[in-house]
Amino acid sequence: MAEQRRDTGDGRGAGERGAGRPREAEAEALERAWGDLVATARRTVSDGLVVGTSGNVSVRVGDTVLVTPTGVPYDRLRPEDVCGVSLDGRRVLGSLVPTSELPMHLAVYRATDARAVVHTHAVHATAVSTLVTELPLVHYMSAALGGPVRVAPYATYGTAELAENTLRALRDRTACLLQNHGTLAHGATLDQAYDRTAQLEWMCRVWLTASSVPGLTPTLLTEDQVTRAGERLKGYGQP
């Protein structure tokens, strides 16, 4: 028996009428996400977390990863400059070349439930990455990042080795330092990834400031104290 199509009153069957909606919705979601990504990238500059085109930002929409293109100042990015790749790195949107740090971003998406990633060359965090292998527990907000923040061993930017080092440092964490390089944080949204980036930079600044006082050593928290703070942070904010 031939399948019958329900008349929708506009001369099209129900299947024809709704066929374009998922694609339209996806296109709208990608457009909104690109606008949010550009705004976040510009914020990293205005807040002093990057200089020029250093650092990069990405956001995942379904199986598409939108990412800042390489070498393009963020204040020049336009809606038509959208740059998108698949999870295996194939370019699926736009004509601009993606950031050189694409392997690191994609590694995070494949290994975690991240929906957004922010990478910066923040001054204080980068300085700390040259001094220690783990950010000392100078403040309980380490708990908001999953615990003591590790430093990923140095590797050349844009390489698979750097991506692997980053994933190890991120185990059970939402942010890490990259030795002699900068920071990486991820989250469920661009706002959350950015907030974690800013929080990490602030903690690094606090530790460097306290450590610079001659003759005094900063008091540090224990991991147990940070864990207890983390339990309280779960209920922080409005319901």
Give CA–CA dist 97/37, Å, rounded: 16
pLDDT tens-place string over residues 34-67: 999 999 999 999 999 999 889 999 999 999 999 9
pLDDT confidence bin for 96, thresholds 50/70/90: very high
Task: Give the pLDDT of residue 176.
Answer: 98
What are the residues facing 56 on neighbouring strands?
119
Does residue 9 register a pLDDT over 70?
no
Active site residue 3: no
| Catalytically annotated residue among 16, 101, 161, 164 | 101
Q: Is 211 exposed, middle or buried (0-12, 13-18, 19+ CB in 10 A)?
A: middle
pLDDT at residue 20, as a whole number: 61
Q: Are strands 151-152 and 84-86 parallel, antiparallel or unpaired?
A: unpaired
What whole-number percentage of the chain has pLDDT above 90? 85
Query: Is it the case that residue 4 has pLDDT exceeding 70?
Result: no
Q: List, for residues 97-147, the tens digit of each pLDDT value.
A: 999 999 999 999 999 999 999 999 999 999 999 999 999 999 999 999 999
> Rounded to a whole number, what is the largest CA-CA distance in the chain?
90
Given a cut of 90, is residue 31 above it in pLDDT?
yes
